[in-house]
Amino acid sequence: MHILFVADPLESFKIYKDTSFSMMRELQKRGHALSACEVTDIAWRQGQPVNAGVRDIVLTGDPRHWFDAGATGLDRRRAALRDFDAIVMRKDPPFDTEFFYATHMLEQAEREGARVFNKPRALRDHPEKLAILEFAQFIGPTLVTRNAQDVRRFHAEHRDVILKPLDGMGGTGIFRVREDGMNLGAIIETLNRDGAQSLMVQKYLPEIVQGDKRVLLIGGKPVPFSLARIPQGSEVRGNLAVGGKGVAQPLSKRDREIGEALGPVLAARGLLLVGVDVIGDYVTEINVTSPTCFQEIHDQAGFDVPAMFVDALEAALAD
């Protein structure tokens, strides 16, 4: 098969930990051909199928020059998206207007016969902060609002809270406000832009010291190990992007309960790969754009997450 990855620039990959790279490596090992493009390369013209400037690549095994683009190099060839056996959408957040437009272009490609994973409509329908609202039985006390007084009342009730923007990634823009309410007003103003923008407030979960666990769902089934991202020093955030330490560990009974409840529902909507963030016993986010942690789990626990993903992709294409 020939697989196209829609991703960030290949030159930006940190291959020692990059999940998209681990997928590519497993696909090539099984004999599949690889191409890559960026969302900026996708175009449509009336009377023609959705197409992109793509780079046909081969992985070299050399960490310094990890791919060879052959004749296409930096000069991409134009190719119709429907001509690939599968398109793996791996563009990293933020989910901005260009990402939104890209999902519409990919959905048009689907109408022309392309197979896209994760499904573009499902990407739009599951914003990563707000997707948890559907599964309220698994979340802790949470408020979504743009009203400053609502936030103050929530803080007065729960005393120790986390505030976050709805469009953040990698732990950016996350604040903790303790019982003294220090800087609560300034934080609200920063996040809600004087009432113009909604934000999320959640009760602080002290279990964060044991890690913000990434539970991966592939083809509707939970990977048997999570990656607990543990905050370091005085940091409240466990995100790897801000220095959290990743520790692979077997799923707890609650982790598995969450995974087995959410997995089939989300898979049925075209979400082949999902990353559920769990603190203690509670879901805090549902990540669908480009979930990570494949290599960390594989390296530490020995479980071959890339192989599980490619198995699921091959099975989906066989349907």
What is the per-residue DSSP string for 114-152?
--EES-HHHHHH--TTGGGGGGGGGS-SEEEES-HHHHH
Choose, from 55, 90, 164, 203, the residue flagged as catalytic.
164
Residue type, 283: V
Residue 169: predicted pLDDT: 73
Q: What are phi and psi of 246, to 5 degrees?
A: -90, 125
pLDDT at 71 over 90: no
Burial of 121 (0-12, 13-18, 19+ CB in 10 A): middle
Distance of CA 171 to the CA centre of its chain: 13
Residue 32: predicted pLDDT: 98
Mean pLDDT of the chain: 94
pLDDT at 39 over 90: yes
Residue type, 12: S
Instruction: Assign 206 to helix, strand or coil.
Output: helix
The pLDDT of 127-137, averaged and rounded, is 95
Residue 76: predicted pLDDT: 83
Domains annotated for the chain, with CATH where assigned, are 2-118 (3.40.50.20), 141-204 (3.30.1490.20), 207-318 (3.30.470.20)
Q: Which residue has the higher pLDDT, 157 or 231?
A: 157
Cα–Cα distance measured from residue 105 to residue 108, given in angstroms and rounded to the nearest whole number: 5
**Is 237 among the catalytic positions?**
yes
pLDDT in tens, 78-126: 999 999 999 999 999 878 889 999 999 999 999 999 999 999 999 999 9
pLDDT at 234 over 90: no
Choose, from 212, 237, 239, 296, the residue flagged as catalytic.
237
Strand partners, 207: none
The pLDDT of 266-276, averaged and rounded, is 98
**Is 277 among the catalytic positions?**
yes
Confidence at 238, pLDDT banded by 50, 70, 90? low
Residue 237: predicted pLDDT: 66
Q: What are phi and psi of 63, to 5 degrees?
A: -65, -20
Asked whether 55 and 72 are in contact (CB, 8 A), the reply is yes
Residue 96: predicted pLDDT: 84
Burial of 22 (0-12, 13-18, 19+ CB in 10 A): buried
Choose, from 192, 229, 255, 296, the residue flagged as catalytic.
229
Residues 6+ away with beta carbon under 8 Å from 117:
86, 87, 88, 89, 270, 272, 273, 313, 316
Choose, from 55, 214, 255, 296, the residue flagged as catalytic.
214
Choose, from 115, 129, 203, 213, the residue flagged as catalytic.
129
Residues 6+ away with beta carbon under 8 Å from 313:
3, 86, 88, 117, 272
Residue type, 5: F
pLDDT at 233 over 90: no
Residues 6+ away with beta carbon under 8 Å from 31:
none
**Is 112 among the catalytic positions?**
no
**How much is the pTM?**
0.94
Percent of the chain with pLDDT over 70: 95
Cα–Cα distance measured from residue 218 to residue 252, given in angstroms and rounded to the nearest whole number: 17
The pLDDT of 213-221, averaged and rounded, is 98
**Is 229 among the catalytic positions?**
yes
Q: Which helix (H) or strand (E) holds 263?
A: helix 253-267
pLDDT in tens, 133-189: 999 999 999 999 999 999 999 999 999 999 999 987 767 789 999 999 999 999 999
The pLDDT of 260-278, averaged and rounded, is 98
